[in-house]
C-alpha cells in the first residue's frame, strides 16, 4: 500500500506517518513546514519506505506511480496559527482540498479529510452529533478556519457524489500528546508550558467552558479504522470525557510537582466555543472504536514530552 499524507510533518500527521509505516505502507509525507516541523519526522527519514516532499498543497500535487490512500491533514489548526495565517488557512482548506481530491481521483485512491469539531462553531446542541449543522460566525476572526473546513467537507462530498471518489471525513475534537508545539496557543500546551516554567496559568473567562481531550494514539487508531471502513459521511473522533478549562488547569498544576504557578483570568476571546463534547455513537457502531487512554495517563505522557522541549 502507498499512502500520501499531506501535513505529515505536523502534530497529528507525524503520528499518522508512524502508524502507516508500522502497518507496512510506503508513506509520502507532503508538508510546507508552515506549522509542521522536520523534527517531528526526523526519526522516519532513515526508513526507505518513507519520503518527505516539501511542498505547499495549495499548489497542484504531483506524485509518480500508484497511490492507494490520500489523507489530507495539511492546515494550520490552532487559533494562534490560523489567526496569523488566515489566507493560507482558507487556501489549504479550499485549493489544498481540491488538489488532494484531484490526486485521489487521478490515482483511484481512497481519500480521508481531516475536518474538525470547529465546524460546529459555538454549538447550540450538546453533545455534538454529526447530523448537527453547527452555529458558526463566517466573518468572525475564527471564520477562516471554521469555514475552510466546512468548505472542505462540502467539496469532499461533491467529489464522492459526482466523481465516485471513495471519501472519508473525520471530525477531530481536542487532541493532545507528544509533538504538540508549546507555543501553538491551544489550551493544553499553554497550561503545560506555563506550569513547567512556574508562570501564571492563563484561564479565559471564568474557566467554565468545556473541552474533551483525546490522546493522540487513540485518535490515530480511529482514523486508521475509518479509512478502512466503507462510510462517506462525517464521523466524530474524540473523547467524550468532558472537563472545564479551570479543572484542566487545576489538574496540570497538581501534576507538575514543585510548580509555583497560580491561576489568573483574562477576557474570553470572541466566538470561543462554550462547550465541546463529541457524541461518538457513530464511531462506536461503525468502527468499534472508543478512546482507551485515561486523561491522567495521557497527561503524564504529555508532560514527559513537554519537559524535554520547554525552555
- Please report the pLDDT score of residue 269 as a whole number: 77
| Residue closest to 170 by CA, chosen among 106, 218, 105 | 218
Strands (E) across 129-283 are located at: 167-172, 175-176, 201-204, 210-212, 214-215, 234-237, 242-244, 263-266
CA dihedral 14, 96, 118, 28 (to 10 degrees): -20
Query: In the structure, what pLDDT confidence band is assigned to residue 183 with cuts at 50, 70 and 90?
Result: confident
More confident residue, 206 or 15: 15
* Rounded CA Rg of the chain: 19
Query: In the structure, what pLDDT confidence band is assigned to residue 47 with cuts at 50, 70 and 90?
Result: very high
Question: Would you say residue 311 has pLDDT above 90?
Answer: no
Helices (H) and strands (E) in the chain — how many of each? 11, 13
Task: Tell me what percent of the residues of the chain surpass a pLDDT of 70.
Answer: 100
pLDDT in tens, 131-147: 999 999 999 999 999 99
Question: Would you say residue 263 has pLDDT above 90?
Answer: yes
Task: Calculate the alpha carbon distances from 54 to 32, 33, 35 in Å.
Answer: 5, 7, 12
The dihedrals phi and psi of 197, each to the nearest 5 degrees, come to -90, -5
Residue in the structure block whose three cell numbers are 497529528: 12
pLDDT in tens, 152-161: 999 999 999 9
Contact 32, 58 (CB under 8 A): no
Burial 74-85 (b: 16+ CB within 10 A, else e): bbbbbbebbbeb
Axis-axis angle for helices 295-309, 245-255 (nearest 10) = 60
Rounded CA-CA distance 176/11 in Å is 9
The dihedrals phi and psi of 240, each to the nearest 5 degrees, come to -75, 5
Strands (E) across 100-163 are located at: 110-116
Mark whether 145 is an active-site residue. yes
If you average pLDDT over residues 113-125, what whole number do you get? 95
Query: Whole-prediction pTM value?
Result: 0.95
Q: What domains, with CATH codes, occur in the chain?
A: 2-175+215-238+280-287 (3.40.50.720), 187-210+242-277+293-309 (3.90.25.10)
Q: Is 164 left (phi over 0), alpha (psi -120 to 50) or beta?
A: left
Question: Would you say residue 220 has pLDDT above 80?
Answer: yes
Rounded CA-CA distance 62/54 in Å is 12
β-bridge mates for residue 164, sequence order = none
Rounded CA-CA distance 134/119 in Å is 6
pLDDT in tens, 287-304: 999 999 999 999 999 999
Query: In the structure, what pLDDT confidence band is assigned to residue 163 with cuts at 50, 70 and 90?
Result: very high
**Cis preceding-peptide flag for 127 (omega within 30 of 0):** yes
Rounded CA-CA distance 101/159 in Å is 7
The dihedrals phi and psi of 33, each to the nearest 5 degrees, come to 65, 25
Question: Would you say residue 89 has pLDDT above 80?
Answer: yes
- Please report the pLDDT score of residue 239 as a whole number: 97
Burial 25-58 (b: 16+ CB within 10 A, else e): bbbbbbbbebbbeeebbeebeeeeebebbebbbb
| Residue closest to 70 by CA, chosen among 108, 115, 23, 117 | 108
Task: Calculate the alpha carbon distances from 246 to 198, 204, 206, 210, 264 in Å.
Answer: 17, 9, 8, 9, 10
Contact 85, 76 (CB under 8 A): yes
Which of 82, 120, 132, 145 is labelled catalytic? 145
pLDDT in tens, 55-83: 999 999 999 999 999 999 999 999 899 99
Amino acid at each position: 500500500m502507498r499512502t500520501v499524507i499531506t501535513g505529515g510533518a505536523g502534530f497529528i500527521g507525524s503520528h499518522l506517518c508512524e502508524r502507516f509505516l508500522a502497518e507496512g505502507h510506503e508513506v509520502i509525507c507532503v508538508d510546507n513546514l508552515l506549522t509542521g516541523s522536520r523534527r517531528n519526522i526526523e526519526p522516519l527519514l532513515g526508513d526507505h519506505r518513507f519520503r518527505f516532499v516539501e511542498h505547499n498543497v495549495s499548489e497542484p500535487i504531483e506524485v509518480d506511480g500508484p497511490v492507494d490512500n490520500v489523507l489530507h491533514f495539511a492546515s494550520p489548526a490552532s487559533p494562534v496559527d490560523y489567526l496569523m495565517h488566515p489566507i493560507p488557512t482558507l487556501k489549504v482548506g479550499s485549493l489544498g482540498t481540491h488538489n488532494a481530491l484531484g490526486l485521489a481521483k487521478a490515482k483511484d485512491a481512497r481519500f480521508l479529510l481531516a475536518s474538525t469539531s470547529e465546524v460546529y462553531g459555538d454549538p447550540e446542541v450538546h453533545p455534538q452529533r454529526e447530523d448537527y449543522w453547527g452555529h458558526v460566525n463566517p466573518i468572525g476572526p475564527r471564520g477562516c478556519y471554521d469555514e475552510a473546513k466546512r468548505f472542505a467537507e462540502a467539496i469532499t462530498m461533491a467529489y464522492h457524489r459526482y466523481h465516485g471518489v471513495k471519501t472519508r471525513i473525520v471530525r477531530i475534537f481536542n487532541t493532545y500528546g507528544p509533538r504538540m508545539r508549546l507555543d501553538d496557543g491551544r489550551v493544553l500546551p499553554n497550561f503545560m508550558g506555563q506550569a513547567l516554567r512556574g508562570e501564571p496559568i492563563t484561564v479565559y473567562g471564568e474557566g467554565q467552558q468545556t473541552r474533551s481531550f483525546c490522546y493522540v494514539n487513540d485518535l490515530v487508531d480511529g482514523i486508521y479504522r475509518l479509512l478502512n471502513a466503507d462510510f462517506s459521511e462525517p464521523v466524530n473522533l474524540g473523547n467524550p470525557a468532558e472537563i472545564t478549562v479551570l479543572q484542566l488547569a487545576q489538574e496540570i498544576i497538581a501534576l507538575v510537582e514543585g510548580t509555583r504557578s497560580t491561576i489568573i483570568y483574562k477576557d474570553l476571546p470572541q466566538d470561543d466555543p462554550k462547550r465541546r463534547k463529541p457524541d461518538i455513537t457513530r464511531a462506536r457502531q461503525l468502527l468499534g472504536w472508543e478512546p482507551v487512554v485515561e486523561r491522567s495517563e495521557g497527561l503524564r505522557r504529555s508532560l514527559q514530552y513537554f519537559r524535554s522541549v520547554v525552555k
